[in-house]
């Protein structure tokens, strides 16, 4: 199985680094924020590389841009 198209994109790698940073920073939030703010911030951060990966599988630029 070959490399996935999004693995060649610098922006995807940058987004994945951002996700790790968000996870690191939100780990220090108070316990009462674990299922509120922490969860929301993590889901939002993960959404960016997920959308990039989903768009990268499309052959046409318009499809990719629509995903972004």
Domain ranges, ordered by start, for the chain: 5-67
DSSP, collapsed to helix, strand or coil, labels residue 3 as: coil
Task: State the average pLDDT over residues 56-65.
Answer: 74
pLDDT digits (tens, 9 = 90+) for 12-26: 999 999 999 999 999
- Report the sign of the C-alpha dihedral through residues 43, 49, 54, 55, in that order: positive
Mean pLDDT of all residues belonging to the chain:
87
Query: What is the pTM for the complete model shown?
Result: 0.79
Task: State the average pLDDT over residues 37-65.
Answer: 86
Confidence at 1, pLDDT banded by 50, 70, 90: very low
- Half-sphere CA count of 43, side-chain side, radius 13 A: 7
């Amino acid at each position: 199985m070959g490399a996935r198209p999004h693995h060649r994109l610098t922006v995807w790698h940058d987004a994945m680094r951002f996700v790790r940073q968000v996870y690191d920073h939100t780990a220090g939030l108070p316990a009462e924020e674990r299922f509120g703010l922490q969860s929301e911030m993590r889901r939002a951060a993960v959404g960016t590389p997920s959308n990039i990966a989903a768009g990268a599988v499309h052959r046409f630029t318009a499809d990719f841009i629509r995903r972004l």
